[in-house]
Every structure is written in C-alpha cells, then in structure tokens.
Amino acid sequence: MFHFFLIFLSFFPFTIVFSSHSCTTSTSTKTFEKCMPLPSQDASIAWTFHPHNATLDMVFFGSFISPSGWVGFGINPNSPEMTGTRALIAFPDPNSGQLVLLPYIIDPSVKFQKSPLLSKPLDIHLLASSSTLYGGKMATIHNGATIQIYATLKLVSNKTKNVHFVWNRGIYVQGYSPTIHPTNINDLSSIATIDVLSGSQAICHNNFLTLKNVHGVINSISWGVILPLGAVTARYLRHVESLGPTWFYVHAGVQLSGILLGTIGFAIGIRLGQLSPGRVYGLHRNLGIATFVLGMLQTLALFFRPKTTNKFRKYWKSYHHFVGYGCVVLGVVNVFQGFEVMGEGRSYVKLAYCLCLSTLIGVSVALEVNSWVVFCRKAKEDKMRREGLIGSSGKFSGSSHG
C-alpha cells in the first residue's frame, strides 16, 4: 500500500505555486521599469511607478481561452480576493467583433451568480486604459491569443507597499456581461500582492497555495486511505486466532495515526478558510466538519470501552461500528469533493487516489469472501458435530456396514 502513497504524492501539483515563464518590460508602444511573471495562467505584468504623484503606469499580459471569451485584470483596494476587485475586462464586441475594454466592479452578487456582471464606472482614480492584441490590428481573437491591457491609475500615497492584483479569463460573454470563469485551482489562485515600489511579491499568497496543496495531500491520505485501512484491519485481522489481541493494537495504531494526521489537515482547512473569506465551499466544509466530529467521537470511544463481560459491551460495539463506518464513508466522499474544489476532478492525482482506493476495496472484497467461506465451513462442521456425524477431532464417526 505504501508505494501507492508515493505514486499519489508524485502526481500532486505542488509546482503550481511557482511560475516558470518570464516577463518583459517592453511592448510595441511603451517601456516600463519593472516586470513580474504572475503565478497562474502564464500571465505577467510590467509597470512604472512614479512616487512623486503616486501614479502607476502598467500593462497586463494575458491570453484568451476561447474566441468568444474574455480576459480581465484589476486591483482590489481592500484584500487579495476576487470580490471587490475593480477590473478592466476585454472581449470581442458582440455586434462588431472588435476588441472592447470595459470597466467592472466584482461584487458578491456576481461571485454567487445571483446577477449578471454589468459594466459600471470604477471608483478608483483610473486615468487611462486601453487594450490591444499581440500582432496589432490584423490579429484576431482565438484560443491562445495574447492580449495586453494598459492602465494608468493614481494610488493612495501610503498604500503602495501591498497592491492586490487580480486577473482571470473565461470562455463566453453574454451580451456585454462576462460569464463565470473556470474554477480549477489555477483560475482560483489568480491573485498576487506586489510592492510596486520595490518590485517584490508578498509571499502570503504562495503560502496560501502551499497550504492548500498540503491540506489536500494530508486529508486524502488520512481520511481517504489510512482510516479505511484501519477499518479493514479491524474487520479481518480479529478473526486470525494466531494474532490474539495484537489485531486490536494494530487497528488502534492505524486509526490513531489517521486521526492525528487528519486533525492536522482539518486545522489547515480552518486556516485556509480564515485566509480566504471570500471563498466558500459549503459542501466540502460541512462534510469535513462532520467527518472530523465522527473521528473525534470514535477516538473518545476508546477511553470508554467496556470489558467483554460488561452488559453494555454490545451497545458500545454497535456505536463503534456505526460511527466508524460513517466516518470512513464521509471521509472518502469528501476527498472526492476536495478534488473538485481544487480543480483536479480529471487529473492524475485523482486517478492515483482511485487506484489506491480500488486496491483497498479489492483486498477487502477478497477477504470478505474468504471470511464467509470459512464461516460457512465452520457452521457446517458445527452442525455435523451436533448431529454426531463427526467427532470432536473433525473425523467422521458411525458404524461400518459390511
């Protein structure tokens, strides 16, 4: 089973935190002082900051993912998240097909798709803006087409150290309303906080992505593999007479290690929620809380385990089985829900986990069949022993006929 853990870890996309593409300070019309590759979507920015009047002259380099799609870039004056961003969004005009650039404010109603995104004037000091496709006037909008969005704005003089840049892209525009963008992890992590004066990027967002990946790995292994493995050891090892009480210590050790690791993953999940107040994954969060509560109840049950002669032992066993299997089922379901949240629903990461889980299920089915075969054979032997057809040694008895 351990080698499946290694396969699973090898597929997990820790590399998304880092950016491998380069940036440029020059375009066909302007030259800027600084540039920086952004951590997702192969995007980058270049800028010149004028401290004497707190003016930021900048260009964003992005790319379309659909000929009818959109590319947007903006600044959130309050926090590193999509909600509250003042954005400039470029897309083909539905009437003429020419590239247009319009201002939008991303409010919470748009995030939850309660209303369409409508263009409105920005409440920041935007002095100028424009957009152009790479290749000039002869360029066309297509999947992969590169766009440059220019903007000049005046910042608040004491708020130049941490400027929150937000960008994204989508596949469709309904009229003049861009529709929701894809929700894989790269699209949900298109945020960067930059000190425009020094040109350095704040590390908090990279830490967020690292925490998110660690959260996914730890919880997939603990709730999704170790705890089911512990349930399997309890069900099948206890019937191996040569092990004696050893099976219980193996079961308890596996389950406690899974709970300990799962608690760490749960705590990281709580921290992720604190770091991203604008992102709510209701189903994943509720399943996680329910799984954690059941895991804690199961752990506490070890301290109140009655002796085998106690009359309440059978009730404790029923409780232990019900809560244990409930925890395992919810844990596995939430692992798959986590893959969807991280945009890994069709990835090799999920494939590796499915391979690991299916192997465990296959072993369980084989052991279950074997246990039923042994059970039926023993039941048949006990019945024949009661009827006197076989002796206590297991040999057939009866008179011979000659």
- Tell me if 251 is assigned to a ligand binding site: yes
Q: Which residue has the tokens 């009047």?
A: 53
Contact 209, 191 (CB under 8 A): no
Name the pairing type of β-strands 55-63 and 177-178.
Answer: unpaired
- Tell me if 284 is assigned to a ligand binding site: yes
Q: Report the C-alpha gap between 91 and 144 in whole angstroms.
A: 13
Q: How far apart are the first and last CA of the chain?
A: 59
Q: Which residues have a Cβ under 8 Å from the Cβ of 41 and sit 6 or more positions away?
A: 62, 63, 167, 168, 169, 186, 187, 190
Cβ atoms within 10 Å of 128's Cβ, excluding its own = 9
286-290 long-range contacts, Cβ below 8 Å, gap at least 24?
287/330, 287/333, 287/334, 287/337, 288/219, 288/334, 290/330
Question: If we measure between CA atoms, which residue out of 142, 47, 131 comes closest to residue 90?
Answer: 131
Q: Report the C-alpha gap between 284 and 385 in whole angstroms.
A: 55
Q: Which residue has the tokens 């949900």?
A: 188
- Tell me if 320 is assigned to a ligand binding site: yes
Q: Which residue has the tokens 């986990």?
A: 353
Question: If we measure between CA atoms, which residue out of 63, 28, 59, 42 comes closest to residue 141?
Answer: 63
- The neighbouring-strand residues paired with 50 are 55
Handedness of CA 336, 282, 178, 169 (dihedral sign): negative
Contact 47, 58 (CB under 8 A): yes
- Tell me if 215 is assigned to a ligand binding site: yes
Indicate the annotated binding residues for heme b.
215, 251, 284, 320
Binding residues are: 215, 251, 284, 320
